[in-house]
Amino acid sequence: MIKKNQFFTKICSFYKKKIDEKKYIQFQKNIIIVSNNWSWPIKNPNIKSFSRFQINNRHGIEISGFAGQPVFAADSGEVVYVDNNFESYGKLIIIKHKNDYLSIYGFNESIFVKQKDKVYKNKKIAVMGSSNNNSGKLYFEIRHKGEPVNPLNLLPSLKK
């Protein structure tokens, strides 16, 4: 679980509002319609597994890979956070995108961007590190106006 950090809380909860369930369902449907620019942050057609949305109190997915594998920006935006203050996520990158979206990348070994850098879609931003169990993984999350969004609804389908 992410330990509390005032800066991170501010980034992830900007525009955060209480919404009722009906509006949230409609909100989720609208996201799918307006958000077709995302790409997978790992370029590997052999992705074997990932954990589902909202597992273990996390709101993203963990993509299996290998330590040292390149990590790419899932869409163009501005880097708003780079640090390792969140023990459960290792070295973390947060990118702010148009239309009030954030993408979050955790378990990085090396990071190639800094705060305020402008990045374009598919730019190499880091290399994958290891999760707590020493396997190569990338934690990836998308938020819209501070609310977690299921990344699997926004990312292109995996080809089998």
Average pLDDT of 44-68?
67
Residue 16, pLDDT > 80, answer no
pLDDT value at position 123? 97
Mean pLDDT (the chain) is 76
Q: Is the pLDDT of residue 15 over 70?
A: no
| Cβ proximity of 126 and 105 under 8 Å | yes
Question: 6-153 adopts what CATH topology?
Answer: Glucose Permease (Domain IIA) (2.70.70)
Higher confidence at residue 148 or residue 160? 148
Distance of CA 156 to the CA centre of its chain: 15
Ordered by start, the domain boundaries in the chain are 6-153
Mean pLDDT of 89-117: 94
φ/ψ of 17, rounded to 5, equals -135, 150
